[in-house]
Amino acid sequence: MNFRVIVFLSLAALAVACQPSGSTEQNTSETASEPADTLRYDQEVHLKNVRQLTFGGDNAEAYWSFNGQMLSFQATNEAWGTACDQIYYMPITGYTGEKPPLVSTGKGRTTCSFFLPGDTSILYASTHLAGDACPETPPVVDGKYVWPIYASFDIFVADLQGNIQKQLTNTPGYDAEATISPDGKKIVFTSTRSGDLELWTMDIDGSNQKQVTNELGYDGGAFFSPDSKKLVFRASRPQTEEEKTAYKDLLAQGLVQPTQMEVFVCNVDGSEMQQVTKLGKANWAPFFHPSGERILFASNHHTESGRQFNVFSIKLDGTGLQQITFDTVFDAFPMFSPDGKKIAFSSNRFNGGTRSTNVFVADWVE
C-alpha cells in the first residue's frame, strides 16, 4: 500500500520526485493556527472543519483506532530520524512534542498499520528481520514507474510502546497490506505465497489463513465493509498476452507497475466478485462509506496527464460517480471513523510548494 509511487506520478509535472524521502520542511506556525476550513476547497461540500495533523515529511495511510480517538500512520521524516516509512500513532487532535510515538522498530521499511480491538496494540508489516537498513526503492525500471514488492515483508503486532508481541506471517515472500474487520474477528492481507499477489484472510490471532482471490494481477489494499461481510480492494488485471508477460516479468523481479488499477468488491470468501470502476488509469485506496452502499477511492482518471489524484465516491454498481476532494496535486487514503462522522485522508494541499504529504481529519457532511 506504499503511496510513494502514486505521489511520484502526481508530482512529476512539478519536476519533484516523491519516491525518495519527502522534504521535511515544516509549514509555518501560522498555518497550524488558521481557522480550520481554510484547509478546505470550496467544492468540497462533504468536508467540514478540516484539520491538519502533521507538518512536513511523507505521512499517509492514517487508520482509525476502534474507539475513534487515535490514528496509526506511516511516515518518512528526516526530522524524526526516519529515512524510510515507519509506524507512528497520534490522537485525532494531533501529536504533541517533537514527534509522535514510534510503534515500529525503526529498522527496515514498514507499511500498513492498523489498531487491534482494544486499541492497545497495532498490526503492521515490516522488513526488519532482513536487515536494519531501508531496502532500495527504484522509482523507474525500463521507463516504467514501479513499486517494489519486498519478499522480506512480514506482518507483526506490537504494543503502543513498540514491543513486538507476535509475528503473524512467516511464509516466504511478500506478506503485507493487512487491515482488520470492524467486528475485530478477521484480517485481510496481500501475499505472494501462491505465486501471485492475491488477497488472503486470517483470524485475528493469525490462524486459519485462506486465499480469497486467484486471478492474475495485483490484488491489494483491501478493507472490510462496515458489516465485515465484504471486501473492497484495488486490482490490476492484465488482459493481453503482452500485458500478462510484462506483469509476470516485473513480479519475478519483485516489482509491480501501479498505473493501471480498478476497484473491486467481493464477499470475504471471494465469492460474488464484481468490478466497481471501469475508469482507466489508477483507481486505488478504496474504503467503504458507512452505509456500505458507496465506496470512496483515489483516482487520476479525470486528468489527461494522470498526475493529479483526488478522492471520488461511487456506488457499488459503478454508478453515481462524484468527486469529493479537489487538491491540484494529491488527495488519497479516505478513511471513515468507526462512527462514520469523520474522515481521515492524506494530501499535498497547502504545503507551501514543498514535497510534504500530510494527514488531515475532517467532519463528514452527507
Q: What are phi and psi of 327, to 5 degrees?
A: -65, 150
d(CA 220, CA 263): 10
pLDDT at 18 over 60: no
Phi-psi bin for 270: left (phi > 0), alpha (psi -120 to 50), beta?
left
Best CA proximity match to 167, nearest among 221, 114, 129: 129
pLDDT at 297 over 70: yes
pLDDT for 345: 98
pLDDT for 54: 98
pLDDT for 144: 82
pLDDT at 34 over 80: no
Tell me which of 19-23, 127-131, 174-178, 207-211 is least confident: 19-23
Tell me which of 15-24, 98-107, 238-247, 282-291 is least confident: 15-24
Model pLDDT for residues 314-353, shown as the tens digit of each residue: 999 999 999 999 999 999 999 999 999 999 999 999 999 8
Averaged pLDDT for residues 219-232: 98
Confidence of residue 11 (pLDDT cuts 50, 70, 90): very low
Q: List strand residue ranges (DSSP E) for 102-217, in order.
A: 110-115, 121-126, 140-141, 144-145, 147-148, 154-159, 164-167, 175-180, 186-191, 198-203, 210-211
- Provide the percentage of residues in the chain whose pLDDT is more than 90: 86
Would you list the domain boundaries of the chain?
4-364
pLDDT for 187: 98
pLDDT for 23: 30
Confidence of residue 145 (pLDDT cuts 50, 70, 90): confident
* DSSP element (H, E) containing 251: helix 241-252
Confidence of residue 2 (pLDDT cuts 50, 70, 90): low
In CATH, the architecture of 4-364 is 6 Propeller (2.120)
Q: Output the pTM of the full model.
A: 0.91
The single residue listed with the C-alpha cell 478513511 is: 335
pLDDT at 108 over 90: yes
